[in-house]
Structure 1
Amino acid sequence: MFIKNCLTPCSQIKPIEVDSSIRKAISHLRTLRLDTIPVVDSAQSFAGITGYSYIMKYLLEQEDAHIDHHKWDQPISAALHPIRPLHILDDFEDTLPYCTRYPFVPVVEEDGETFAGIVKIGDIEKALTSTYGHEVEGVRFLLGVFIDMPHQLEQLMNAIKPFDVNIIAIASFDAGESYIRRILLKVKSTPHIQEMEHALERKGFRVLNIKHQ
């Protein structure tokens, strides 16, 4: 999946321009009921992000901590937070490091500058839910495997092929140890669960957990 597949385009976001005043930025945030918003320049190139927290941080860090009405008329560029945007052709998983730090992921067009839109954290969650088949009923196998086991997925497929099951999801991830990985296998409900468990174990997989979802 590419970022462009879950992009909210800039036409739906209404970013604020970098030369707008802090006062206008706050009004914009209030109108859109947002806490953070992308900022662009006059050429619609991505400049950074701003929001209530960045504005207050800027105002409170001034030598004169007194906030008078003149400070609200300063350009929002003074309260701009720099953030590296992703490219519209980047892979979806490149969005994941942003999830814990920002409310959205800014994305630029192929030229590397023009603001294309954002990927919302909610859209990232939906994509991950779909990847793991979380909302689809079935049987979930959690498998353990050594990383030096050759042809892991081929062995897995050969183990379950005789049971003619429909696969909902397969995902592989680290187990926290350098020599072990986990494989999540989710299939449609089947009466052959115990036979599948034995077949997987014969192929060298350790069946850690089986859960009906």
Structure 2
Amino acid sequence: MVSFYLKGLGLGAGLIVAIGSQNAHVLRMGLKRQHVGLTVLVCIVCEVLLISIGVAGVGTMVERSPFLLAAARWGGALFLAWYGLRAWRAAFGRHALDAAPQRAETGTRDALLTVLAVTLLNPHVYLDTVVLLGAVGGQQGPEGKWLFALGAMTGAMTWFVLLGFGARLLAPWFARPSAWRMLDAVIGVVMLGLAISLVT
């Protein structure tokens, strides 16, 4: 039984610990120390729900539907391209992000909508959780698949908590505007790269 849990933990952690729009957003909010708890909670809840849906059998259904896969691919590519261009605008614009105490506070509503957008409008989230984890989990048998899912959920929870609340340890380095510019430039490259990879 433990092997099912460990398999889910390993695969789930391997998929979630990757540079993407969701992780970049959690890191940014953690560095700014704004709505960290809300951001982390929303990411965890969405991840748990999507993994559950995938393991319950929806992953196989989506995988077999060309229309759903195409819609996720093109919609996600557009969103990732927009996110990447926005990051570049912040990196090369006059108003770079700043980790100093006088930073502007993001409203709770805006923080909630943004984390929902970077989580649910990113097709990689569905491909990783619903399709891939769902397909692998479904192969573990009636009992094993839920232990597998629990392991994958544990990996996601641990990662988001560490990324969101651990980001403050990097705050001294990001107190410099140049560091924020560098982060946004890298995020822009990654997001546009992901967008291109989805449609090629």
Give the TM-score category using the shorter length. Answer: under 0.3
Relative contact order, higher structure (CA 8 A, sep 6+): 2
TM-score norm. by structure 1 comes to 0.22
**TM-score of the pair, normalised by structure 2:** 0.23
Structure showing the higher strand proportion among its residues: 1
Specify which structure has the higher proportion of helix: 2
Higher Cα Rg: structure 1 or 2?
A: 1
